Amino acid sequence: MSDFVLTNRAARRVFMHRHLLSDAPTGPAKNADILNVVTKLGFVQLDSINTVARAHDLILFTRKAQYQPKVLKSVYEHDRTLFEHWTHDAAVIPLEFYPQWQMRRNRDATRLKGHWKEGRREGFESKIQAVLDQIREQGPCCSADVGKDEKRGSGGWWDWHPSKTALEYLWRSGALCVVGRDGFQKRYDLTDRVLDQQLCDTNLGPDEAETIDWCCNQALDRLGFGTHAEIAAFWAHITPAEAKTWCTRAGERGDIIQIMIEGADKQLKPAFARPDIADDPAQLIKPTSRLRVLSPFDPALRDRKRASRLFGFDFTVEMFVPEPKRKYGYYVFPLLEGDRLVGRVDMKAFRDQDVLRVKALWLERGVRWTPARAKAFDSEVQRLTKLAGVSTVEFDNNWLRIDQF
């Protein structure tokens, strides 16, 4: 193990630079610019919740303030330079990475067939051929278009009718592609009708060893540093054991070294990094002081434990917490200022009233509500109104929660 220690400030700067948060979110946000952002990040998570803006739109807006949602839709559905699949959740991913998902598709084909027999309604396998035939004959379809004689679910998110499950299975295993969304409902088409044959030919793609190598290299380069578990979790389609083996072998080759990372609590934790990490120029880049609202699903916050170690910021998406047990609110947005997460805000767009309502803002310990910070926050929520589709901002009574928990 190297005796090199990456200080907490340096670690934050490297991390923020890799996540495109060091610079102010200026510059053009046309199709090529947004594709470039997604490529540098690796993927952007998709989410349907629209309290202010959908997660993918806010993630891109945070990095390109001129961004408009129609641009991502154009890149995805018109340019077809992105595809949709799973990382840790549903995401848009650069199409150039499509071959690296073949291992994931193969593994899903086996894993989901067994898993969904227990977790979904019976009979989806018997619907697979009918669904394929329907799409081949009628063109792209949504889940509402298949299995029309089947009982629709009423038992929650995963209570799918069998033909809907067949659609998802065929997408996850590769026979179908998602070619766009109507609202937030996926439209599926035959993969070999959408993509170049070279991408569809599984014999031309990387084998498992090549995919594991690609996943680990690409993850480490986007994280800047990480444990083998963090490297595995980045794309979420290799196992921690596979990443651990890769780290061992990469270390033996001299491709990576093990260093110590200083946390916000001054504790040191080991992590892997490139041998030139000590000279990484990102350590010298002072992040913009512009205050920004982050999506709860921002790539920089996806790994909650990592965010806690680096920033001393404990964050839970409380929509999954029963309301009486919530500490803050259903959907709360972290506030980034410089290289610090300084607070969190509960707000929601009421589009029928043309207003973005700020319900509550909590500051982190040691953060003061200065006139400059108040002005910066007001500027940020005013910028968000356009993305949210409203024109005014209102503040609830007692919205500023100075008292700490």
Distance CA 140, CA 142 (A): 7
Residue-wise pLDDT for 143-159, tens only, equals 989 988 777 665 555 56
Strand order in the sheet with 44-45: 44-45, 90-94, 82-86
Residue 35: exposed, middle, or buried by beta-carbon count in 10 A (0-12, 13-18, 19+)?
Answer: buried
pLDDT band at 95 (very low <50, low <70, confident <90, very high): very high
Per-residue model confidence as pLDDT tens digits over 72-86: 999 999 999 999 999
Local confidence band at 394 (pLDDT 50, 70, 90 cut-offs): very high
What local confidence, expressed as pLDDT, does residue 157 receive? 53
pLDDT attached to residue 145: 92
The pLDDT of 119-124, averaged and rounded, is 70
> In this model, does residue 48 exceed pLDDT 80?
yes
Question: pLDDT by residue (tens digit) across 367-387?
Answer: 999 999 999 999 999 999 999
How confident is residue 120, by pLDDT bands cut at 50, 70 and 90?
low
- The per-residue pLDDT of the chain, averaged, comes to 93
Tens of pLDDT along 16-32? Answer: 999 999 999 999 999 99
Model confidence at 204, in pLDDT bands (50, 70, 90)? Answer: confident
Radius of gyration of the chain, Cα coordinates, nearest whole angstrom: 22
Q: Is 38 exposed, middle or buried (0-12, 13-18, 19+ CB in 10 A)?
A: buried
Query: Which of 294, 264, 317 has the alpha carbon at shortest distance from 380?
Result: 294
pLDDT digits (tens, 9 = 90+) for 248-284: 999 999 999 999 999 999 999 999 999 999 999 999 9
Percent of the chain with pLDDT over 70: 96
Q: Write down the pLDDT at residue 1.
A: 61
> Which pLDDT band, with edges at 50, 70 and 90, does 114 fall under?
confident
pLDDT at residue 63, rounded to an integer: 97
Identify whether the C-beta of residue 345 lies closer than 8 Å to the C-beta of residue 335: yes
Give the pLDDT mean for 286-309: 95
- One-letter amino acid for residue 64 of the chain: K
Whether residue 2 is predicted with pLDDT greater than 80 in this model: the reply is: no
Beta bridge partners of 292: 336
Q: What is the pLDDT of residues 211-227, one digit of tens each?
A: 999 999 999 999 999 99
Distances (CA, A) of 153 to 30, 162, 171, 183, 238: 40, 10, 20, 20, 32
The model's pTM is 0.94
The position carrying tokens 């006139």 is: 371
pLDDT at 362 over 50: yes
Residue 221: partners with Cβ closer than 8 Å, 6 or more residues away? 18, 274
Give residue 405's pLDDT band: very low, low, confident or very high (50, 70, 90): very low
Asked whether the predicted pLDDT for residue 366 surpasses 80, the reply is yes
> What are the angstrom distances between the C-alpha of 124 and each of 132, 150, 209, 248, 375?
13, 11, 32, 42, 55
pLDDT confidence band for 312 (50 / 70 / 90): very high
